[in-house]
Amino acid sequence: MQNNRRCVIVGGADIANYEYLRQELRINDFLIYCDSGLKHLERLKADPDLIVGDFDSHENPHLPVETIVLPREKDDTDTVFAAREGIRRGYAEFLLIGVVGERLDHTLGNVSILLLLDKQGKHGRIIDNYSEMELVGEAPVQIDGQYPFFSLLNISGEARKITVTGAKYPLSDAEITPEYAYGVSNEVLPGETAEVVVRNGRLLLIKVLP
């Protein structure tokens, strides 16, 4: 059964602009805080609906909130477990915050959650201090002037028949491979709205804040 609320997953990476992220949150979001993501609780001003983690990097706060305590030795990271739990509970839309930071391994692992969600027919976005990320496929995705720069990266192995319009570097029936990332740092044309479509496969779209 599909849940019409959005699932927001809060990780433990540093957040520089809490005000910006608070504006992105909705009143009816289902919030999952993952372990050290709890350090953001006070400044996000958004109460958890669920807490998950092995509590190796943050104390279990023992709040009157549903809490799932995970073993420290496991295949899933706390964030991946949270995503799977959101899928299990029927959420179709996901927002991940506090998941991009200094640890490149954790960052790449968290970005791959977008692929996990996409494979399950879910839509996910990641917002960090500098950008917004999502996968783009056959459904057109638009980029307005709020994001003057954007990049397209192949993280799934196949991305062909790519069309980009409204941008400084347009594309038509193009292919971007994992080993040649020529889709980095495109620009939205002044007064235009760029649009990206990938007919075969998918790309990681990174919209960069000014």
Nearest residue to 196 (alpha-carbon basis) of 123, 128, 158, 144 = 144
* 5's tokens: 């609320």
User: In the numeric block, which tokens belong to residue 193?
Assistant: 């709205």
Is 31:85 a contact under the CB 8 Å cutoff? no
Q: Which tens digit of pLDDT belongs to each residue from 172-197?
A: 999 999 999 999 999 999 999 999 99
Query: What is the homologous superfamily of the domain 3-129 according to CATH?
Result: Thiamin pyrophosphokinase, catalytic domain (3.40.50.10240)
Close Cβ partners of 64 (under 8 Å, ≥ 6 residues apart): none
Q: What are phi and psi of 9, to 5 degrees?
A: -110, 125
CA distance 124 to 113: 8
The ranges of the chain annotated as CATH 3.40.50.10240 are 3-129
Q: What percent of the chain has pLDDT over 70?
A: 99
- Picking from 161, 201, 166, 167, the residue whose alpha carbon sits closest to that of residue 184 is 167
CATH code given to domain 136-208: 2.60.120.320
Enumerate the H helices of the chain as residue ranges.
Answer: 18-24, 41-44, 78-88, 104-111, 113-119
For residue 1, pLDDT over 70 is answered with no
The predicted model gives 78-97 an average pLDDT of 96
**CB pairs under 8 A, 24+ apart, for 169-177?**
176/152, 176/203
Q: In the chain, list all ranges with CATH 2.60.120.320.
A: 136-208
Q: Is 189 exposed, middle or buried (0-12, 13-18, 19+ CB in 10 A)?
A: middle
d(CA 53, CA 60): 8
How does pLDDT run across 19-47, given as a tens digit for each residue? 999 999 999 999 999 999 999 999 999 99
pLDDT of residue 123 exceeding 90, the answer is yes
User: Is the per-residue pLDDT at 118 higher than 70?
Assistant: yes
- The string over 150-179, giving b where at least 16 C-beta atoms fall within 10 Å of a residue's C-beta and e elsewhere, is bbbbbbbeebeebebbbbeeebeebebeee
* Helix axes of 78-88 and 104-111: crossing angle, nearest 10 degrees: 10
Query: Which residue from 131, 148, 159 is spatially nearest to 187, judged by alpha carbons?
Result: 148
